[in-house]
Amino acid sequence: MQDSDFKHNFHTHTYRCKHAKGDVADYCERAIAYEMETLGVSDHSAMPDDRWLAGRMHYVDLPEYVGAIDRAREQFPQLRIVKGMECEYVPEHRNWYEDELLGAYEFDYLIGAAHLFLDEKNEWVGTYGGTNSAKALVEFANYNVKMMETRLFDFIAHPDLFGNCYAKWDENCAAASRDMLAAAAEFGVGLEVNALGIRKQAAKPASNPFPLYPWLPFWELATDYDVQVIVNADAHRPDDLQGKTSEAFDIVDQFGLTHMDVGALGDKATTKGDLA
């Protein structure tokens, strides 16, 4: 598959998260140049208590972010523009995701993403550098399962992110992966094959002993479960809107995985009708 065949991206960041470049309109222009059909905008979620501000927008910026998406819809009617955010799940804010984001702000979809996870003491641990033990893998998996149980999230970004600091696939990886895969099947939540990970692998120095992500044994195990997957660019600049997405589709093809229905994704009538 050629990069230009990638028509639907649901994972796009704007400058508001402080580590990406470009605004919604810049990505729309690029998507149209690439003859894409869907652009899902999914910046790192604002949080109502402004926690973890280093890599996300301030809470006060949320209406302006939503406005940028709404304006783009008027400016680029030829493109399907879908309103999303990439969210950690903070249990005490359970109602906020549902009432404010999916409710008042009318987000079309939310991505669940464990850049941090809750450990067994209910304390937050960073996933980068944090999933480096058998215990942490259990906690990371439990946290991802908890996100899926909420049914707030249409898919889970980079569920194999633990490859950032766990050097060798072993039974601990397999057990954690099986827990996540079983939950994804049970709750009907998609799992993302993340092309940013492939771009990171391509740029990885030889001194880095870790596999990063996508980690192929995870996707091989996925064939044992009735799960659906989604390929996304995880673009942090317009130039990356298609970067390595064809390689991500190669993984889907290699293992014969089933891709999510991207037409239904973001369509509230089909995906958010039965929020538990």
In the β-sheet with 155-156, what is the strand arrangement from edge to edge?
8-9, 38-44, 80-87, 109-112, 155-156, 190-194, 228-232, 258-259
**Cα distances (Å, whole numbers) of residue 268 to 76, 133, 170, 213, 263:** 21, 39, 39, 30, 11
Cβ nearer to Zn ion, comparing 12 with 228: 12
- Output the smallest distance, CB 45 to Zn ion, in A: 10
Cβ nearer to Zn ion, comparing 164 with 172: 164
Between CA 190 and CA 183 the distance in angstroms is 10
- Output the smallest distance, CB 78 to Zn ion, in A: 25
| Residue for token pair 């094959």 | 193
Cβ nearer to Zn ion, comparing 38 with 186: 38
Cβ nearer to Zn ion, comparing 61 with 186: 61
- Output the smallest distance, CB 269 to Zn ion, in A: 26
Query: What is the separation of C-alpha 150 from the centre of its chain, rounded to a whole number of angstroms?
Result: 16
Residues 6+ apart with CB under 8 A from 6: 34, 36, 231, 233, 242, 245, 246, 249
Cβ nearer to Zn ion, comparing 86 with 160: 86
Residues 6+ apart with CB under 8 A from 96: 48
- Output the smallest distance, CB 13 to Zn ion, in A: 6
Cβ nearer to Zn ion, comparing 71 with 200: 200
Among 36, 148, 157, 173, binds Zn ion (CB under 5 A): 157
**Binding marks (x or -) toward Zn ion, 73..92, rule CB under 5 A?**
-------------x------
**Cα distances (Å, whole numbers) of residue 29 to 4, 22, 26, 43, 56:** 15, 11, 5, 17, 23
Cβ nearer to Zn ion, comparing 156 with 257: 156
- Output the smallest distance, CB 175 to Zn ion, in A: 23
DSSP conformation letters of 172-201: HHHHHHHHHHHHHHHHT-EEEEEHHHHHHH
Binding part of the chain for Zn ion, among 66-74, 146-154, 156-164, 241-249 by CB under 5 A, reads: 156-164
Contact criterion met (CB below 8 Å) for 194 and 163:
no
- Output the smallest distance, CB 86 to Zn ion, in A: 5
Q: Can residue 57 be called a binding residue for Zn ion (CB under 5 A)?
A: no
Binding part of the chain for Zn ion, among 154-162, 199-207, 224-232, 265-273 by CB under 5 A, reads: 154-162
Binding part of the chain for Zn ion, among 54-62, 150-158, 201-209, 221-229 by CB under 5 A, reads: 150-158
235 φ, ψ (degrees, to nearest 5): -75, 130
Cβ nearer to Zn ion, comparing 139 with 234: 234
Residues 6+ apart with CB under 8 A from 267: 108
- Output the smallest distance, CB 202 to Zn ion, in A: 17
Among 39, 66, 113, 145, binds Zn ion (CB under 5 A): 113
- Output the smallest distance, CB 42 to Zn ion, in A: 7
Tell me the two tokens of residue 103: 């409710």
Site for Zn ion in 201-260 (CB under 5 A): 234
Contact criterion met (CB below 8 Å) for 166 and 132:
yes
Binding site for Zn ion (CB under 5 A): 86, 113, 157, 234
